[in-house]
């Protein structure tokens, strides 16, 4: 009996020490957050048992309000899985089919090379150009203009082409989930906000979760979001009304309740986690608002989030019944990297050796700036670019009267910031992140 008691005490002591070490290791990941910085809320749980739950930094730098484990943050694209779940609920009730042509519900969308289905939207294989990327060409990117669901839909319906034939490729685009939001609202005859409150949040007891459907609303216990400008923190809030692709206001405790749906395998579990397929039959990692990954051989279901100065990460490891939930009001927070490092504390880390390729020296491009001078208008983006020659430099001015240099990449192809400009047959084609070949006609 004494030997058995000693063994039990030894095992218990080892478990306590291991848990203490884990806590210290996780704490160290957030050592840069303090009472003079923004921070975040972190939760790790196995099943319903919370293994780690802490908050760091300030929710409001002006009034020195600290973040707590009950602080509300915006979850960025972690929100997409709630929109996807709403669609799957409607599908389970026979109110729509995932194979339906989107134009059945949104007839104002142009007819493209091939029909876009609801399944394409769920998997980001539709080819729809991102409304935020297209909107930024006007000189008013997200954060500088009040984007709304009707405005996002308007931008999408102006696009005469898609990035690729629907189903041929995977390309992440917020337009997919804005379109799904529109479909939920038209089919259910409710706003997405009301539908999810009634069908998801209330049944699951997610009492601190809602959508940022009106950015002017005062939300008690919400953290303000910040980003650094050089060495100084500045407010960086999502001043827009569009939601469904993002815009979920929540806590880490509520996200744990949500992740337990994955553990309980509800009626639509299999469709939630089913990987998308391309037209050639190839499977992709993205499913319905969530994607598949792996940490040291342990299967992972995850999604990250980033809107204005908010950052989020939500992951679930089915074989371990482990949830990792991170919410932050620090725009410089590496949500993906830190989320994975927490998982590595539990599962270990196996990192492949990656050989860096030799840099390729690009040939110098000579060009005559005067050949490209003119004014170009896009019906798709509803904006004008004025291209001018400034000595040997080529520049353009957008509708916001911002000027940027066009740097030559090859004959008739230039780059500026994150965009590519190709001049062809008195037209200009602009490609930016998540939106390719937006046409501009030369008007003078």
- At residue 416, the 3 state secondary structure works out as strand
Q: For tokens 């799957």, name the residue.
A: 88
Q: Average of pLDDT values for 95-108?
A: 98
CA distance 164 to 88: 25
Using CA atoms, how far apart are residues 54 and 26, in angstroms rounded to an integer? 10
Q: Which carries the bigger pLDDT value, residue 228 or residue 12? A: 228
- Two tokens, residue 364: 């110098």
- How far apart (Å, rounded) are the C-alpha atoms in residues 434 and 418? 11
Average pLDDT of the segment spanning 186-209: 98
Report CA 290 to chain centroid distance, whole Å. 11
Cβ neighbours for 20, distance < 8 A, ≥ 6 positions apart: none
Q: What's the mean per-residue pLDDT of the chain?
A: 93
What pLDDT, on the 0 to 100 scale, is given for residue 74? Answer: 98
pLDDT in tens, 367-397: 999 999 999 999 999 999 999 999 989 999 9
**Cβ density class 61-95: b for 16+ within 10 Å, e for less:** beeeeebeeebbbbbbbbbbbbbbbbbbbbbeeee
Q: What is the pLDDT of residue 1?
A: 57
Rounded Cα distance, 239 and 74, in Å:
12
DSSP secondary structure, 290-317, as one string: -EEEEETTEEEEEEEEEETTEEEEEEEE
For residue 332, the cross-strand partners are: none
* Paired tokens of 243: 């939601």
Global pTM exceeds 0.85: yes
d(CA 298, CA 300): 6
User: Got the DSSP string for 351-391?
Assistant: ----PPPPPPPPPP----GGGG-EEEEETTTTEEEEEEEET
More confident site: 17 or 383: 383
Residue 377 near residue 364 (C-beta atoms within 8 A): no
Please tell me the predicted confidence (pLDDT) of residue 2: 60
- Cα separation, 332 vs 431, whole angstroms: 27
Question: What is the enclosing helix (H) or strand (E) of 414?
Answer: strand 413-416
Residues 110, 115, 121: CA angle, nearest 5 degrees: 90
Across the beta sheet with 49-56, the strand order is 49-56, 40-46, 322-328, 310-317, 298-307, 291-295
- What is residue 16's predicted lDDT score, i.e. its pLDDT? 43
Alpha-carbon distance of 316 to 199, in angstroms, equals 22
Other CB atoms closer than 10 Å to residue 357's CB: what's the count? 6
Which of the 8 DSSP states describes residue 103?
G
Phi–psi pair at 414, nearest 5 degrees: -130, 160
- Phi-psi category of 41—alpha, beta or left, where left has phi over 0 and alpha has psi -120 to 50? beta
Instruction: State pLDDT tens for residues 113-129.
Output: 999 999 999 999 999 99
The pLDDT value given to residue 339: 96
If you search the block for the tokens 């909107």, which residue do you land on?
Answer: 135
- The tokens for 325 are 């939930």
- From the number of C-beta atoms within 10 Å of its C-beta (0-12, 13-18, 19+), residue 197 rates as middle
- 9 has a pLDDT exceeding 90: no
pLDDT in tens, 286-338: 999 999 999 999 999 999 999 999 999 999 999 999 999 999 999 999 999 99
Q: Which residues contact 324 (CB under 8 A, 6 or more apart)?
A: 43, 44, 313, 314, 315, 316, 317, 339, 342, 343
pLDDT for res 19: 60
**Average pLDDT of span 212-232:** 96
Beta bridge pairs of residue 440: 428
- Packing angle, helices 174-188 and 80-92, rounded to 10: 40
- What is the pLDDT at residue 177? 98
Closest CA to 185 of 146, 215, 211, 224: 211
Decide: residue 259, CB within 10 A, 0-12 exposed, 13-18 middle, 19+ buried.
buried
Cα distance between residue 393 and residue 405, in whole Å: 7
pLDDT digits (tens, 9 = 90+) for 55-98: 999 999 999 999 999 999 999 999 999 999 999 999 999 999 99
**Chain position carrying tokens 């001018």:** 388
């Amino acid at each position: 009996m004494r030997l058995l008691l000693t063994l039990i005490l030894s095992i218990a002591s080892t478990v306590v020490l291991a848990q203490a070490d884990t806590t210290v290791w996780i704490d160290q990941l957030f050592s840069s957050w303090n009472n003079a910085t923004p921070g975040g809320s972190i939760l790790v749980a196995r099943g319903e048992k919370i293994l780690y739950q802490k908050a760091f930094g300030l929710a409001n730098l002006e009034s020195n309000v600290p973040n707590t484990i009950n602080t509300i943050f915006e979850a960025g694209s972690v929100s997409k899985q709630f929109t996807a779940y709403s669609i799957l609920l409607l599908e389970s009730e026979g109110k729509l089919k995932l194979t339906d042509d989107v134009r059945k519900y949104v007839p104002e969308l142009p007819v493209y090379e091939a029909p876009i289905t609801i399944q394409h939207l769920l998997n980001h294989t539709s080819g729809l150009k991102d409304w935020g990327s297209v909107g930024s060409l006007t000189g008013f990117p997200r954060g500088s203009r009040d984007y709304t669901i009707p405005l996002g839909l308007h931008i999408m319906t102006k696009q005469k082409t898609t990035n690729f034939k629907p189903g041929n490729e995977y390309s992440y685009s917020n337009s997919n989930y804005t379109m799904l939001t529109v479909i939920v609202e038209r089919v259910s005859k409710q706003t997405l906000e009301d539908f999810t409150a009634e069908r998801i949040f209330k049944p699951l007891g997610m009492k601190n979760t809602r959508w940022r459907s009106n950015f002017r609303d005062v939300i008690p216990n919400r953290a303000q979001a910040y980003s650094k400008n050089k060495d100084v923190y500045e407010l960086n809030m999502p001043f827009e009304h569009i939601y469904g692709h993002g815009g979920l206001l929540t806590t880490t405790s509520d996200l744990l309740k949500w992740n337990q749906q994955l553990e309980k395998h509800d009626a639509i579990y299999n469709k939630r986690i089913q990987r998308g397929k391309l037209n050639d039959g190839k499977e992709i990692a993205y499913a319905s608002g969530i994607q598949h990954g792996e940490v040291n051989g342990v299967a992972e279901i995850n999604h990250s989030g980033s809107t204005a100065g908010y950052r989020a990460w939500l992951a679930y490891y089915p074989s371990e019944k482990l949830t990792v939930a991170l919410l932050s009001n620090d725009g410089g927070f590496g949500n993906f990297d830190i989320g994975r490092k927490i998982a590595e504390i539990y599962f270990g880390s196996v990192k492949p050796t990656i050989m860096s390729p030799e840099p390729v020296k690009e040939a110098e491009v000579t060009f005559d700036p005067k050949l490209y001078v003119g004014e170009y208008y896009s019906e798709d983006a509803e904006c004008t670019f004025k291209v001018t020659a400034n000595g040997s430099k080529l520049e353009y001015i957008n509708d916001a009267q911002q000027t940027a240099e066009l740097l030559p990449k090859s004959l008739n192809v230039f780059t500026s910031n994150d965009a590519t400009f190709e001049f062809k047959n008195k037209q200009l084609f602009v490609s930016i992140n998540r939106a390719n070949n937006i046409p501009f006609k030369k008007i003078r």
